Amino acid sequence: MLKLEQKLEKQEIIKLYTKGYKKREHFQIGIEYERLPISLSSGKTVDYWAKYGIKNLLEKYSKEETWDYILDNKNIIGIQKVHDTITLEPGSQVEISTKPEKTIFHLKEKINSINNTLKPITDNLNITLLNYGVSPLSTYKSINIIPKNRYRIMARYLWGILSDVMMRETAGIQCCIDFSSEEDAMRKFKLANKLSPFMCAMFANSPIRGGVDTGYKSFRALSWLNTDNDRCGFAGKISEEFSFEDYIDCVLKTPMIFIQKDNLQFEINGDITFGEYIKNGYNGAEATIEDYELQANLYFPEVRMRNFIEIRNHDCVGGDLKYAILAIYKGIMYNESAMEECEELLKHLQYNDFSEIRYNVPKYALDTPVKKLKISDYAKEIINIAEKSLKEMQTGEDIFIDSIKEYTFNNITPADVILKNWYGDWNKDLSRMVKYLSEKN
């Protein structure tokens, strides 16, 4: 393990994670929900600066709901009210992030409230916020980066062949869960990593890109496979022995993109790792805890540690499907016996198996081979475990499982439904696909 010296000590970094400890009765669940801003007249991605664009949308919502601006060099990059935010991803994707809640019902109520206020604004601008994983028509070459300096630096640095696709074209859903101790955090972290490719397969929802069938069920997931292998993928070997310190070492070994001092960014372009920065400094600057937090935020594994666990690898989906993602994780991660059942289900798979599955899922989704079985076989068991657990909790949240059961138990994904319609009733008419996806709020 890397040994930290000088001003920034490893114990100081570990506190960033241990401060997340919660009593089990106080566990909550959170969501980050990204959507694609699409013009209803052209099917193209709506630009930030356009007359009827995304900057305009944020301004109108802020004015009507008295939300505060989030600014970057005087440019509006988001709005916020207390713990709830509407922010923009690099290609103007609109992300709703609300305060974590005790139940999924409370999250749904909050998101519905925001959406109900957004709807007349987007209607007036002739925009739809599409529940889909990748831009259906516009490709990255025609999608401008929003005026956020961090994103411009990232766009210049990230070296994967599909990194521009990931940044400018994709939209996903992230689930956030709590932990009670380091042992609990690491157990959930490892299990979430193992579940991640199975969940990615179940919720695959991005087969059409650039107006054509890509041959992939989740082109969004493919883009992450080809973004920057230094900072994407699994954090560590998801082995039996893993700790906060091991996770921190993964972050320390990652090349640095930039540092920020006094609201100014200084590009490093991968010249040094964060561990080297701690040891030697950089152009007179010495590592601080704020520098580490930035570095950790520029690390993009399938599952990311914070003072909660952030599970990242799901296409954007609409309706109750987005809450089914949360329901599965809540049912499994907040029930001891459910965790044990999932661990037993997956115990015969090794790190190399999960890596192979991860690389095959974008193309094959539920049909991905897993030794002598398929992902679909495991997915049904995962759903059953989560549903049984939620019923035991008696919160009524097992109702959210129904939406994904309709797909998985029929061996299909949202992508399969899109492809069937694409070659059937829609006759490859993108406007009909956009209309279908727009209705799935």
Contact 257, 267 (CB under 8 A): yes
pLDDT given at position 406: 97
Joined tokens for residue 328:
């599965």
pLDDT of residue 238: 78
Q: Where are the domains of the chain?
A: 10-254+299-438
Nearest alpha-carbon partner for 43 in 433, 440, 439: 433
| C-beta neighbour count of 299 within 10 angstroms | 21
Residue with tokens 């025609």: 142
Residues 409, 386: Cα–Cα separation, whole Å? 14
3-state secondary structure 398-441: HHHHHHHHHHHCCCCCHHHHHHHHHHCCCCCCHHHHHHHHHCCC
The DSSP code for 240 is S
Q: Any residues with CB less than 8 A from the CB of 305 and at least 6 apart, and which?
A: 17, 185, 189, 235, 244, 247, 296
3-state secondary structure of 364: helix
DSSP codes of every residue in 62-125: HHHHTPEEEEETTEEEEEEETTEEEEE-TTS-EEEE---BSSHHHHHHHHHHHHHHHHHHHHHH
Task: Give pLDDT, residue 60.
Answer: 97
Here the tokens at position 407 are 């797909």
pLDDT per residue of the chain (441 residues) written in tens, 0 to 9 = 455 445 799 999 999 999 999 999 999 999 999 999 999 999 999 999 999 999 999 999 999 999 999 999 999 999 999 999 999 999 999 999 999 999 999 999 999 999 999 999 999 999 999 999 999 999 999 999 999 999 999 999 999 999 999 999 999 999 999 999 999 999 999 999 999 999 999 999 999 999 999 999 999 999 999 999 999 999 977 766 889 999 999 999 999 999 998 888 999 999 999 999 999 999 999 999 999 999 999 999 999 999 999 999 999 999 999 999 999 999 999 999 999 999 999 999 999 999 999 999 999 999 999 999 999 999 999 999 999 999 999 999 999 999 999 999 999 999 999 999 999 999 999 999 999 999 877
CATH T-level fold of 10-254+299-438: Creatine Kinase; Chain A, domain 2 (3.30.590)
**For helices 336-346 and 182-202, what crossing angle results, to 10°?**
60
* Cβ(192)–Cβ(309) below 8 Å: yes
Tokens found for residue 13: 């970094």
What's the pLDDT score for residue 263? 80
Distance CA 362, CA 220 (A): 8
Could you tell me whether strands 127-130 and 208-209 are parallel, antiparallel, or unpaired per DSSP bridges?
A: unpaired
